[in-house]
Structure 1
């Protein structure tokens, strides 16, 4: 089951949990209120519930990525790139089939929420939400990336408030100017 919490302001290793002291947990309803969707699945690549979600949401393309120093060329640079705050023009859909990592998302007050991903967790980040990704201290995740149609993975680093996806996200969240 997914865990999420507000992050501290520490500059320590990005792969550390970064929980506040005392911890400030974030519930699934709070994630849903910022457009983040979550399902707990089996962790199997051929999960039946995943097949239904894919059909219902139109996720027609998928691939698998393993992020680990041994399998990802330029690992340290890639991890730094993934951790740069950015948004996408489409949903970002990830299903963890092995290992673990963190997605960080901004709440409506622009504070960081850390979402811990482990085997079986499926997360959908809405188009236009500022976020970033990092592994945890285990340095390994195997994830299925899902897309509607052909894969597009173009990050727009913050600030990207001029993008239509960002404007629509803010409007949906009741934050439009």
Structure 2
């Protein structure tokens, strides 16, 4: 099961856990209130298992590619990590299936607090359009992920602040106005 927690305010290496002391964990129900969806798949047997195919079909994901983030495989590695870690939103969902390795997605909750979501091999996470988020690797500096999209991928990050963006307005209306 995925682990998630409220982050501390430290400016130490972004690849560290950044748990508060004592840790304040967040459950899947709380993540769902923020619009985040999660599944655990068999990363070594995902094609035969069929869950990814079912999710793709149900949610209309028609495009897929794969990214490997490691200093040896990702061109301009340092610049890309800085870009991924800039707080931003997208006009479409962000869907990632972790095939190997690990990393963190950080999201802003309804109170504008950072929540760190640990993503490990076999995790499939969907961040809703309009949610402020960022991504970083952990100290292992390696993740391989399938990226899924509805239609042609749109790679445009809209850095914060962008509170008037249509996807942000829809996100606020759909999730944060209902969150308790």
Query: TM-score per shorter chain, which class?
Result: over 0.9
Give CA-to-partner distance per residue, 1:72-113, whole Å, 9 cap, x none.
111111101100000000000000000000000000000000
- Is the partner of 1:173 in helix, strand or coil? helix
Unpaired stretches in structure 2, ≥5 consecutive residues: none
Instruction: Give structure 1 regions of 4+ aligned residues with deviation exceeding 4 angstroms.
Output: none
- Could you tell me which residue of structure 2 aligns to residue 12 of structure 1? 12
Deviation at 1:143, TM superposition (A): 0.2
Which segment drifts farther, 132-141 or 165-174?
Answer: 165-174
Deviation at 1:174, TM superposition (A): 4.2
1:111 aligns with 2:103: no
Unpaired stretches in structure 1, ≥5 consecutive residues: none
1:127 aligns with 2:134: no
Deviation at 1:119, TM superposition (A): 0.4
Work out the number of aligned pairs and report it. Answer: 176
The change in CA–CA distance for 1:142 and 1:174 in structure 2 (over 3 A counts) is: closer
Deviation at 1:153, TM superposition (A): 1.3
The two structures have a TM-score, normalised by structure 1, of: 0.97
Cα distance in 2, alignment partners of residues 74 and 120 from structure 1: 26
- Could you tell me which residue of structure 1 aligns to residue 2 of structure 2? 2
CA RMSD of aligned residues (A): 1.1
- Could you tell me which residue of structure 2 aligns to residue 55 of structure 1? 57
The two structures have a TM-score, normalised by structure 2, of: 0.95
- Could you tell me which residue of structure 1 aligns to residue 79 of structure 2? 77
Deviation at 1:173, TM superposition (A): 2.1
Cα distance in 2, alignment partners of residues 110 and 172 from structure 1: 16
- Is the partner of 1:56 in helix, strand or coil? helix
Query: Residues 79-158 of structure 1 correspond to what in structure 2 (within 5 A)?
Result: 79-158=81-160
